[in-house]
């Protein structure tokens, strides 16, 4: 009975946490570059004092789905979508290098190239700062060309290049800020060639139908675990009543 209560209790707790991951996925259906959270449940024996029948069911971080999401055409010069398996380098809140696939870019009032969430996009020599311009183009290799403000088209020149790196999803960890970093803490090496597409952004790779089904499954699982806890409690009460009668 103790085993039944413990497994049901920890299972219900893990199910609630898994439900949180599914809810976060659904909340980010329209977030460009979002990577769906994955989760699963593991079981392990509880060490220490107590009955040997105690096993814990806990939610384990399953990482994220690194498959590429669908592309959405925007026609904006500063919108980019990275090729599969590639990541764009940005500065996190502490100024350290982190990675994202959110390619909805813009130039702020200080001339800094940033993501929609305000993260500074990094180039080969740090944050990309652009002088005043009348025209901007981002090439497939990540290089940024501008026509300086007040100048003719013949003055167009490359002024920066977006740092794009290649890193398998298994080597990256997602932080609480939604950015990704290498598990070893080291910056990834920049790659060249055709690394991105312009005028398009990558949508979230969350599958709405799959996550809705998962949410229903988790809700039913939670109900079953709570019912099991109630049944175990009722059996315990019945057993105590029999013991009192026999006494």
Residue 123 CA to residue 161 CA, distance in Å, equals 5
Q: Please spell the DSSP secondary structure of 11-53, one letter per residue.
A: HHHHHHHHHHHHHHHHHTTTSTT---EEEEEEEEEPPSSS-TT
pLDDT of residue 8: 75
The pLDDT assigned to 138 comes to 96
The closest alpha carbon to 199, from 112, 137, 246, belongs to: 137
Return the pLDDT at 159. Answer: 94
Contact 126, 165 (CB under 8 A): no
The residue written with tokens 């009722």 in the block is 234
Give the closest residue to 91 by CA, choosing from 113, 62, 60: 113
Judged by DSSP in three states, 58 sits in strand
Output the tens digit of pLDDT for each of the chain's 247 residues. Answer: 456 666 777 777 778 888 888 999 999 998 999 999 887 666 666 666 666 666 666 666 668 898 999 999 999 999 999 999 999 999 999 999 999 999 999 999 999 999 999 999 999 889 999 999 999 999 999 999 999 998 988 899 999 999 999 988 888 999 989 999 998 888 898 999 999 999 999 999 999 999 999 899 888 888 888 888 888 777 777 776 766 665 5
The pLDDT, as a whole number, for residue 107 is: 94
CB 11, CB 218: distance < 8 Å: no
Side-chain-facing half-sphere of 8: CA atoms under 13 Å: 16
With H, G, I as helix, E, B as strand and everything else as coil, classify residue 43: strand
Query: What pTM was estimated for this model as a whole?
Result: 0.79
Q: What are phi and psi of 45, to 5 degrees?
A: -75, 135
Q: What angle do CA 119, 120, 123 make, to 5 degrees?
A: 140
């Amino acid at each position: 009975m103790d085993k039944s209560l413990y497994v049901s209790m920890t299972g219900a707790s893990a199910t609630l946490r898994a439900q949180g991951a599914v809810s976060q996925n659904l909340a980010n259906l329209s977030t460009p570059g979002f990577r769906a959270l994955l989760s699963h449940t593991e079981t392990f024996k509880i060490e220490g004092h107590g009955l040997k029948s105690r096993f814990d069911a806990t939610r384990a971080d399953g990482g994220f789905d690194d498959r590429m999401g669908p592309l959405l055409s925007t026609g904006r010069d500063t919108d980019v979508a990275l090729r599969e398996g590639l990541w764009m380098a940005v500065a996190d809140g502490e100024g350290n290098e982190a990675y994202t696939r959110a390619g909805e870019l813009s130039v702020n009032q200080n001339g800094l190239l940033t993501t929609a969430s305000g993260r500074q996009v990094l180039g080969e020599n740090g944050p990309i700062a652009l002088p005043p311009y009348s025209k901007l183009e981002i090439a497939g290799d990540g290089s940024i060309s501008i026509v300086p403000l007040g100048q003719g088209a013949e003055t167009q020149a490359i002024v920066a290049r977006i740092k794009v790196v290649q890193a398998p999803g298994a080597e990256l960890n997602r932080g609480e800020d939604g950015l990704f970093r290498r598990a070893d803490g080291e910056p990834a090496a920049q790659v060249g060639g055709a690394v991105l597409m312009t005028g398009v952004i990558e949508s979230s790779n969350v599958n709405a139908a799959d996550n809705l089904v998962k949410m229903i499954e988790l809700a039913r699982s939670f109900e079953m675990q709570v019912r099991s806890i109630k049944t175990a409690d009722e059996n315990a009460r019945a057993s105590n009543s029999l013991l009192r009668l026999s006494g």
